[in-house]
Amino acid sequence: MIEFRGVTKQFPDGTLAVEGVDIVIPPHQTTVLVGSSGSGKTTLLRMINRMVDPTAGQVLIDGTDVATLDPVNLRRGIGYVMQNSGLLPHRKVIDNVATVPLLRGVSKRAAYAHALELLDTVGLDRSLADRYPSQLSGGQQQRVGVARGLAVDPNILLMDEPFGAVDPIVRAELQQELLRLQGELGKTVVFVTHDIDEAFLLGDQVVIMQQGGQISQAASPAEILAAPADAFVADFVGADRGKRALHLTDVGGRQVVVDADGRPAGVLSS
Amino acid sequence: MIEFRGVTKQFPDGTLAVEGVDIVIPPHQTTVLVGSSGSGKTTLLRMINRMVDPTAGQVLIDGTDVATLDPVNLRRGIGYVMQNSGLLPHRKVIDNVATVPLLRGVSKRAAYAHALELLDTVGLDRSLADRYPSQLSGGQQQRVGVARGLAVDPNILLMDEPFGAVDPIVRAELQQELLRLQGELGKTVVFVTHDIDEAFLLGDQVVIMQQGGQISQAASPAEILAAPADAFVADFVGADRGKRALHLTDVGGRQVVVDADGRPAGVLSS
Amino acid sequence: MTWLWSNLDLVGELIVVHLALSVPAIILSFVVSVPIGWLAHRYRWSRGVLLSLCGLLYAIPSVALLIALPVVTGQGVRSPLNLVVALTLYGIAVIVRTSADAFDSVERDIRQSATAIGYSEVGRFWGVELPLAGPVLLSGLRVVIVSTVSLATIGAVIGVQSLGSLFTDGFQRGIQAEVITGVVATIALALVLDALAVLGGRLLMPWTRSAIAIGRAGAGTPAKQARAA
Amino acid sequence: MNLLLDAIAWIVDPANWTGPGSIPLRIWEHLWVAALVLVIASAIALPIGMLIGHTGRGKQFAVMTSGGLRALPTLGALTLFGLWLGIGLPAPVIALVILAIPPLLAGAYAGFESVDRRTIDAARAVGMNEPQVVGKVELPLSLPIVVGGIRSASLQIIATAILAAYIADFGLGRPIFEGLRTRDYGEMLGASILVIILALVVDGAFALAQRLAVPAGVRANRTRELRSRPARPRAILGQPINEGNQQ
Amino acid sequence: GCASGDPLDSGSGDGDGASETIVIGSQEYYSNEIIAEIYAQALEENGVDVEREFRIGQREVYIPEIEDGSIDVFPEYTGNLLQFYVPDTTATTSDDVYAELEASLPEGLRVLDQSPATDQDSYNVTKEFSEANGVTSLADLANVTTPMTLGGNSELATRPYGPEGLKEVYGVEVAFTPIEDSGGPLTLKALEDGQVQLVNIYSANPAIASNELVTLEDPEGLFLASNVVPVVSEKVTDEIAEIINTVSAALTAEDLVALNALSVDEQQSADQIASDWLAEKALF
Ligand SMILES: Nc1ncnc2c1ncn2[C@@H]1O[C@H](COP(=O)(O)OP(=O)(O)OP(=O)(O)O)[C@@H](O)[C@H]1O
Ligand SMILES: Nc1ncnc2c1ncn2[C@@H]1O[C@H](COP(=O)(O)OP(=O)(O)OP(=O)(O)O)[C@@H](O)[C@H]1O
Ligand SMILES: [Mg+2]
Ligand SMILES: [Mg+2]
């Protein structure tokens, strides 16, 4: 369990990125932080592995204040996946995946063998192991990023817009893959996105943040949709734009679901 | 009316970006080209203003083959808006908007006066006229880009992922703005995106492209949803992922529309 | 110090002469290098050859160049023209690579957008590429300014007056104050010209000083985040 | 052209290829001094430049120092150090070290600065400590630019090392000065040609090294730069152009 | 030109002597500049229009300009100038050198009377070295057992009075270290630091006295005598030549050293040194 207690972060230049945040992130579930640009999602995420230290408040992992832990060691125990995959461009795929175990002193053989298994886990062909990241497609790179995040078998996996830079088809694939993986592994995943659809798809709990790093609502997707906490949330999830106000219409004998703007959202299955 | 007749483009390095494309783009409507990365959308779009010349086939505007027109003059008569707004960073907002009229020899006074009006049209405060592009937010930059595209009152407006780089809230705003504008102006808009939701929202006609620059389906959004032409289209619009296969469920007394994955899509208004 | 006070007018005079030698060379090398840099940028295949050749100009020993140049220019050895030509050649060696980089630094997107809205090739060069290459060109110019002003002192070796004359004369007469004055005056002159170039850059390229980007631009870039961590 | 023939005659004259002060000996001395200077200057400038590039602090300092050092006339520095240290190698070596520092410093900090911050950030996030970030990420990725700095420094050193002969019996500057003083322009020009050839060879070697220094993964990237841009770039506005000109 | 002094008297050509302006040049050498300045002021005193082209480098730079008539008067040194025209000359004494120089000057150039003042190559040792080894003349060097190194400009290595000449004429073997400052401070420092034992310094250099160096005698006439002598163009009338000759005659070797010392030790300008000297001598 990860807990934020009255966490505030003001950067040296005066920006108040996050203010007075309290959240409890339950274990073995996916919590998605969603909000528009600059709302402090990344800042909050990075406090967990001490890439950022709060200026006030505490971040606790299983009851231990992370401020008391050595940052380098802490990070080696937490998986981290970022938008552009964050792979080291001058290392081969296999070396990238094995980086952290090697840093932790695992033997080369064991690390490589495990890395190959991880490629299987994330659905990559082992033949890609000897390529450089730049020789992979964006989606493949993200998979390698996830594999690297899993390499030390962490309890916590932090993902900062991991699918933000891939195109929609690949993105949908990766989302499915993540759902499958999470079903198998049951990690505590903290996922950052600014795509509300993605948040609703992946999150057991969705945390909606608003500009200035405050939390508007933290609840399950259906709860948020059924009862948005305030106007900001309603706007953000699209309720007041008519995007979520659906009705049915008949096209060629099928029941097409259409939103208030007349834009089709899908087809009703009987 | 813009017409593609058997258009093929092979780049000097051998890439076959577009192959044997035939499309008719009706006037005063919005046609959206949608497809994943590398499917040739940009290539197709750029053939209209001769940024790219086809290796085979013809592109006709109102029956005239563009290959017979002088490219520089042609471009000055067609609005073009791109993802990163494409504004000239060393020119003030007002100069950016007035660039093309000035290139065409319109008097400075007239060009500036018109440029200020255009800022109103795209919903920007006139006080921003003297700023440099870097002093605007991403959304504001895109608006300036649109204003610039409209500056010569073109019949044709080409837009290449104009909202690809702004965050979802701003993006939704810009989409609404474009719908409003188009309602007023009735240009022939050719819009490129790889977001199918955006395509469905904006397009009167949606052209779905597949890798290798071929067209899978060109029809209205509802038609595509109701009857996808093939498996690729079905996959692309999400029909076979269950994203478009919706059903109803009750949350707190309201009818929530949920897709096959259990992800909520909206609330049914009675 | 007493030396300096009693020779202020001499130093002043030499500064003027020094400027008359170095400023034309600076301007010439800039004007010559920009098109070369553009060629190297535009035609990839020519890049290696052009840049290497120009870079190697630097390897020509100055004393030899100053003796050999008169044969080419047809001017007397002592003609300042030779020195200006020599300084220009060294300036070119310094700046050509930077000017190629400067044109490379213009984003492709912006170049394409300019084409798309109807700039002709020539119009695009003057209206878009050159100004946007400006900041990097300026950084190259600054290096040229500083190194040319410094290099102009070698004129003294062949009898062309400059601040370098203070080295040779001070050295012969064993007056350290004179040598130090020469060194300090050269550095000061270089830094003043450099500051003028920066100032000129600000005036000519107002957009570079206004990059107080709004929103997430800049502040939220990973660079800053990484550093803050 | 006559001069040129004289120069070639001097170079090929077998009498100049043996004995004390022979051409091979002068070349060897020249290279040796240049290498010494390069090593000393690198030992000073590279760590400082890397530190500045790594921390992002003190760039202003680096720009100012390079500017000031560049402006310091080598001839003036040489005479001053000569007056203080006497004849022999120390004075020219110090003067040349000063000459070599700006390009080395600039190469080092520009190289480190050029490494994508996101890559460094990721390296830190997976648990690399600072030395590991420097050694395993920044150094390999910045190597081409760092080597580029070394390359231009070495060119300047070789070209300017002829000044060593001003106060020391050393290098290819000797025949150049001797030729100048005795108006044997063939000798002077011949030696100059040798210096240019030497510079050419060393420059070529460093160009090769620079190419080899590009990490394999980064090189692979070059060939795939067909796509105009990443599918969905983020909104990063008004990016400054990273050159030595930022105030 | 620089250091040309008072701008007020540069245009004072009110005399009726010569209507044409006489251009006077000087080397990039403070001592030479002082002599040129003396010529200039002497001519000005006598109503001649003078233009100064001072500090114009070494012979290879200015000789062509004298030859093509852009410079009319230039203080030179007999021995060094002769060597310039006749590199393998064997003359050494003052008169021989002067005679041969007159004969070997190119068309259109001539030298006026030579001055008793000399500024010629000379070998010097420190006082300690001289006392420790009992050396006061070049011949004495043959008795020194410790190895010796000679310091001087690179061309010295190939001059007839260089290491070769020392060996031939006096039987003295020395190594050679080039120091390119013409017997300047670097040379002196090398001598003090013991990096060289023997240095070539021009005889008029005041450093010889101020550093208590011992100039070694040259009984066999190894060195080329080098007296101060003006080289002039055809534009120089007899009247003007007369004035310069008067100056030359008055300038002694000791004077030259003293004038140089004023420049080096008192850091006085050439202008001031010249006018003081002319005033003291009261020639005009
Ligand atoms: N190192 C920093 N120094 C100063 N301000 C910063 C720093 N990092 C972030 N900020 C600011 O803090 C705020 C929150 O930034 P953060 O990166 O957490 O937002 P985010 O929600 O992740 O946005 P995005 O969706 O664009 O990634 C922003 O205003 C940002 O500009
Ligand atoms: N100038 C070029 N030279 C070679 N190949 C090119 C060039 N421009 C585009 N291509 C290739 O042509 C294909 C289509 O490119 P295009 O840019 O039209 O795709 P797109 O659909 O716009 O993709 P995206 O959504 O990423 O913008 C791609 O494979 C691309 O790599
Ligand atoms: Mg973020
Ligand atoms: Mg595209």
Report DSSP letters for C175-223, one per residue: -HHHHHHHHHHHHHHHHHHHHHHHHHHHHH-HHHHT----TTTTTTSHH
Candidate from D216-220, E123-127, E251-255 with smallest mean pLDDT: D216-220
pLDDT at residue number D75? 79
The answer to the question of residue D235 being in a domain is no
Nearest CA to ligand 2 atom 9: D227
Closest CA to A264 of E264, C174, B238: B238
CA distance C187 to chain B (A): 33
Quick one: closest CA in C to E1, which residue?
Answer: C161
Percent of chain A residues past pLDDT 70, beyond the cut: 97
Quick one: closest CA in B to C135, which residue?
Answer: B90
pLDDT exceeds 90 at position E1: no
Quick one: closest CA in C to D122, which residue?
Answer: C226
Model confidence at C219, pLDDT cuts 50, 70, 90, reads very low
The answer to the question of residue D126 being in a domain is yes
CB of residue B43 inside a 6 A radius of ligand 2: yes
User: CB contact, 8 Å: B270 with chain C?
Assistant: no
Q: Using a CB-CB distance cutoff of 8 angstroms, which residues of chain D are in contact with residue E157?
A: 178
CB B54 within 8 A of CB B44: no
In terms of DSSP bridges, do strands A78-82 and A156-160 run parallel, antiparallel, or are they unpaired?
Answer: parallel
**Axis crossing angle, helix C8-42 with helix C130-151, rounded to the nearest 10:** 140
Top-confidence residue, D124 or A239: D124
Quick one: closest CA in C to E184, which residue?
Answer: C172
User: CB contact, 8 Å: C220 with chain A?
Assistant: yes
- In chain D, how many domains are there? 1
Please indicate whether chains A and D are in contact, defined as at least 3 beta carbon pairs under 8 Å. yes
Asked if A86's CB is within 8 angstroms of D231's CB, the reply is: no
Model confidence at E159, pLDDT cuts 50, 70, 90, reads confident
Asked if C132's CB is within 8 angstroms of B89's CB, the reply is: yes
Q: What tokens were used for E31?
A: 């001592």
pLDDT at residue number D37? 96
Model confidence at D243, pLDDT cuts 50, 70, 90, reads very low
Question: ipTM of the predicted structure?
Answer: 0.81
Model confidence at C38, pLDDT cuts 50, 70, 90, reads very high
Query: H or E stretch including E157?
Result: none
pLDDT at residue number D242? 25
The alpha carbon of residue D189 and the mean position of all alpha carbons in its chain are separated, in whole angstroms, by 24
CA of B39, nearest ligand number:
2
Measured CA to CA, the distance from residue A75 to residue A98 in angstroms comes to 15
Distance A43 CA to ligand 3 centre (A): 7
**Residues with Cβ within 8 Å of residue D177, at least 6 apart in sequence:** C63, D162, D165, D166, E154, E178, E180
Which residue in this structure is represented by tokens 């880009």? B145
pLDDT at residue number D220? 55
Q: What tokens were used for E39?
A: 């010529």
Instruction: List the CATH number of the domain containing D95.
Output: 1.10.3720.10
Q: What is the mean pLDDT of residues A57-76?
A: 93
3-class SS letters over D170-222: CCCHHHHHHHHHCCCHHHHHHHHHHHHHHHHHHHHHHHHHHHHHCCHHHHHHH
Q: What tokens were used for A9?
A: 């972060």
Model confidence at C1, pLDDT cuts 50, 70, 90, reads low
pLDDT at residue number E12? 39
* pLDDT tens for the 270 residues of chain B, in order: 899 999 999 998 888 899 999 999 999 999 999 988 888 999 999 999 999 999 999 999 999 999 999 999 999 889 999 877 788 888 999 999 998 888 888 899 999 999 999 998 888 899 999 999 888 888 888 889 989 988 888 999 999 988 877 777 778 888 888 898 898 888 999 999 988 888 888 999 999 998 888 899 999 888 888 888 888 888 888 766 666 777 777 777 777 787 776 777 777 775
What single DSSP character describes residue E217?
Answer: B
The answer to the question of residue D11 being in a domain is no
pLDDT at residue number D21? 80
Neighbours of chain B (3+ CB pairs under 8 A): A, C, D
The total of other beta-carbon atoms located within 10 Å of residue E108's CB is: 12
pLDDT in tens, A94-121: 999 999 899 888 999 999 999 999 999 8
pLDDT exceeds 60 at position D240: no
Question: Ligand 2: which atom is nearest the Cα of residue B213?
Answer: 14
**Ligand 1, CB within 6 Å, residue ranges:** A 11, 13, 15, 17, 35, 37-43, 194; C 216, 219-220, 224-225, 228
Nearest CA to ligand 1 atom 13: A17
CB C229 within 8 A of CB A51: yes
Residue D88 has, within 13 A of its CA and on its CB side, a CA count of: 11
pLDDT in tens, D72-119: 888 788 888 888 888 888 999 999 999 999 999 989 988 998 888 888
**Residues with Cβ within 8 Å of residue D99, at least 6 apart in sequence:** D69, D74, D156, D157, D160
The answer to the question of residue D1 being in a domain is no
Coil/strand/helix, residue E147: coil
B166: nearest CB among D226, D235, D238: D235
Cα angle at A30 between A136 and A222, to 5 degrees? 115
B2-10: strand order across its sheet: B16-25, B2-10, B56-61, B64-65
pLDDT in tens, B17-33: 999 999 999 999 999 99
* Mean pLDDT computed over every residue of chain A: 88
Measured CA to CA, the distance from residue D133 to residue A75 in angstroms comes to 14
The answer to the question of residue D232 being in a domain is no
Top-confidence residue, E206 or A260: E206
Q: What is the mean pLDDT of residues A235-243?
A: 71
User: CB contact, 8 Å: A267 with chain B?
Assistant: yes
The answer to the question of residue D236 being in a domain is no
* Mean pLDDT computed over every residue of chain D: 81
Measured CA to CA, the distance from residue C180 to residue C185 in angstroms comes to 8
* Mean pLDDT computed over every residue of chain C: 83
pLDDT exceeds 80 at position D231: no
pLDDT in tens, E4-52: 333 334 333 344 444 578 999 998 888 999 999 999 999 999 989 999 9
**Residues with Cβ within 8 Å of residue B269, at least 6 apart in sequence:** A245, A246, A247, A260
User: CB contact, 8 Å: C113 with chain B?
Assistant: yes
pLDDT at residue number A45? 94
Asked if E155's CB is within 8 angstroms of D178's CB, the reply is: yes
Q: What is the mean pLDDT of residues C8-14?
A: 89
Residue ranges making up the domain that contains D55: 25-214
Model confidence at C129, pLDDT cuts 50, 70, 90, reads very high
pLDDT in tens, E180-201: 888 888 888 899 989 899 999 9
Could you tell which of A13, A39, A159 is best to mutate to test the pocket of ligand 1, judged by most ligand atoms within 8 Å of the CB?
Answer: A39
* One-letter amino acid of D173: G
pLDDT in tens, D182-207: 778 888 889 989 999 998 899 889 98
Model confidence at D19, pLDDT cuts 50, 70, 90, reads confident
Residues forming a β-bridge with A79? A157
Q: Which whole-number Å values give the CA distances from A231 to A240, A241, B268, D35, in the listed order?
A: 8, 11, 19, 70
pLDDT at residue number E10? 38
Model confidence at D63, pLDDT cuts 50, 70, 90, reads confident
pLDDT exceeds 60 at position D150: yes
pLDDT at residue number B65? 93
The answer to the question of residue D142 being in a domain is yes
Coil/strand/helix, residue E213: coil
Measured CA to CA, the distance from residue D87 to residue D85 in angstroms comes to 7
CB C110 within 8 A of CB B65: no
Q: What is the largest CA-CA distance in chain D?
A: 70
The answer to the question of residue D244 being in a domain is no
pLDDT at residue number C228? 34
Top-confidence residue, E129 or E4: E129
Model confidence at C157, pLDDT cuts 50, 70, 90, reads confident
pLDDT at residue number E130? 93
pLDDT at residue number A264? 75
pLDDT exceeds 50 at position C227: no
pLDDT at residue number E123? 94
